[in-house]
Structure 1
Amino acid sequence: MTDCVFCAIVAGDAPASIVLDEPDLIAFMDIRPFTAGHLLVVPKRHAPGLGALDPEDGFRIFDAGRRIATALRSGALPVDGVNLFLADGEAAGQEVFHVHLHVIPRRHGDGFGLRAVPRSPNRTVLDGTAAAIRNALAP
């Protein structure tokens, strides 16, 4: 395992407020939460980014995120909705290079959200972008 802050938590060598501890993943409270209840779901097997993530670990972290989001919405915390967020790469805002899924409870008017202004490209641009992505997916 490489040296990373989440690896120390996975190994039990750093303090964390654990929400879920399963054989292949761990979920714990974020120490810099965007909203009350913001937590992270982390695979125990190290992967610095999505390209290195074992597909089964990817399934497990998103399934755990789904289960935690469901629990948040039906639990005692005041939660109106939940965002799941995963940053892959520095340009996407990834700061810790061990894949992790943010589970962010939301309340109406909490002030958290995406601030970018979406654009509306024409169909030719959308079709060209779709073709470039399809080509990259081809084996």
Structure 2
Amino acid sequence: MLSTFEGSPGSPQKIAAHALSEASFSGSGGFAEAKGLHSQYERVHERLTALSKNLGLQIEAMQIAVMGAGGNFSNIDEEERRRFWEIRTEIGRQHEEAERERAAAEAEKRGESAPKSNDERTVTY
């Protein structure tokens, strides 16, 4: 399943390859609206690429979990276990980052200052 996904148009590599330049929006004589549109396009394109990478990681983790569940996890070698936890950690990090971005966007809509964060905890100033 993972190899099928990696070969599909939804793979991170193929999504990343479909980036459009600012000139695609404005031609050779750029204008402010085109720059703004391109900026939003880049933001969405980066997010789609990140979501595709995340989906690939989740598929890989699911494959490891299914293999392990079939044999009470005794049939998974140490490298597969390490990779499973590595993926789980990365997905958790991405989730926390997305939550911080969401909270910052909501705070901005309400006219509040965005929460500041560090690796320990998130604090609102």
Q: TM-score, normalised by structure 2?
A: 0.31
Larger Rg: 2
Structure with larger RCO (C-alpha < 8 A, sep 6+): 1
Q: TM-score, normalised by structure 1?
A: 0.28
